[in-house]
Amino acid sequence: MIFSSAVFLLLFLPIVFVGNLFTGRFSNFFLLLASLLFYAWGEPYLVLLLIFSILLNWSVGLGLTKTKGKARNILLISGIVCDLGILCFYKFTATAMPVGLSFFTFQALSYIIDIYKGNTKASRNPVNTGLYISFFPQLIAGPIVRYRDINRQIESRSIKLNDVSDGFKRFIYGLGKKVLIADVLGSCADHIYAFDITTLDTKTAWIGALTFTLQIYYDFSGYSDMAVGLGKMFGFTIPENFSYPYLSRSISEFWRRWHISLGSWFREYVYIPLGGSRKGTARTCINLLLVFILTGLWHGADLSFVIWGLFHCSFIIFEKLGLKKLLDRSKIISVVYTFFIVIMGWVMFRARDTLSGLAYISRMVLPGNNPEMALWKYMDKKTVFVFICALLGMGIIKALTPGKLKKLWDGSVIEALYCVCILLLCLASIAADTYNPFIYFQF
């Protein structure tokens, strides 16, 4: 089940939201059942894998509170090996990857690691642990939440009218990002990437790269917005996952703004334990290389994902070695530089394989023209309009809008009417279009 489906919007969400209001102290149990149903809707038998992960990590968490010394170390290692073993099996050997596996596996890992380190206490209630790992708003594509940041809300929370209102508004904005922007641009990007690479000209290659760059941002940040909004509607505060990353002034800054929860996870559980930046420049570079190799592999087993990770890592290292000082001299140049590097990286990310990605980039950087590749063949007026709106909406409008105007807009009747229009347009689009899943569901 996906957020941008009629089943979720018109059936699942209303029933679960209203039902949760009447469950009282059984709210966690009700939401856990709803979350398992949400997952089972698309993965009927693989929900057993999710249940196994819940029981495994709940048991390991309890065991860590009762054991000491070597037995405790062995228990933690066993839990990590089991979690990563399941993830690696499906990612590197299976033909079909269970949706959301990487996300809920990383949440499970952070749960047992934090218990081992003493950063949080294990839950004695399997329902609470199950809800943490499987809560449906962020089950499939994050954000990745740490148990210590949400355990109190799981144990006790209240639903306030203002939070429900803000959550519903945030959900609509995210839905609009997905349905009205990402899906339209994705259709154009898919059309262009499907062309024989030898027929592409420079203009078409750039349009394909730009439309995918915007698609993946609006697709993923739209999901995150919906997750944050749904969390508020049920009394939870889910952390932000994006902060206008395409306005970053360096690749280092980009990774502090893009998929924030994943970057935080790798920083806390991999980069810092390896020594972070505390052991000299050479060791810092090695640590960064390892983190970005793992980041690439987290996204997929194909070599192109590893190259994508190393591509970003190389520029972060260059920035640490002095490039950042040059970038700081000009805001415009630094933003353009970062956006250009990110676009090139997304080409490798989107391509079928490494060679296809390199061939596509060559079409972008080597001048070429094909009179038969007319713009109208892959971009109609609607797509051009959405493309322009997407460029303005990735942070430009927010940066140019005066603070007083923002205050007048937030919570106003005009904003409410705007949200209603967005919702109606989304529902009309969903009724007319075919199934179009979120990009990050495959991870």
Distance CA 308, CA 134 (A): 29
- Backbone conformation region of residue 144, classed left if phi is above 0, alpha if psi is from -120 to 50, else beta: beta
Coil vs helix vs strand at 236:
coil
Contact 242, 259 (CB under 8 A): yes
* CB-count exposure of residue 299 (10 Å: 0-12, 13-18, 19+): buried
Coil vs helix vs strand at 260:
helix
Q: Look up residue 25 and give its amino acid.
A: R
Distance CA 426, CA 34 (A): 24
**Residues 315-335: b if buried by 16+ CB within 10 A, e if exposed:** bbbebbeebbeebeeeeeebb
Rounded alpha-carbon distances, angstroms, from residue 302 to 51, 286, 348, 350: 28, 22, 11, 11
Q: Taking CA 47 as the corner, what is the angle to CA 44 and CA 48, rounded to the nearest 5 degrees? A: 115
Contact 63, 51 (CB under 8 A): no
Closest CA to 82 of 114, 49, 121: 49
Q: Taking CA 243 as the corner, what is the angle to CA 424 and CA 414, rounded to the nearest 5 degrees? A: 35
Active-site amino acid positions: 299
Q: Estimate to the nearest angstrom the gap between the alpha carbon of 239 and the chain centroid.
A: 12
Side-chain-side CA neighbours of 393 within 13 Å: the count stands at 19
Q: Taking CA 144 as the corner, what is the angle to CA 139 and CA 146, rounded to the nearest 5 degrees? A: 115
Rounded alpha-carbon distances, angstroms, from residue 11 to 113, 179, 212, 256, 443: 37, 18, 31, 37, 26
Coil vs helix vs strand at 97:
coil
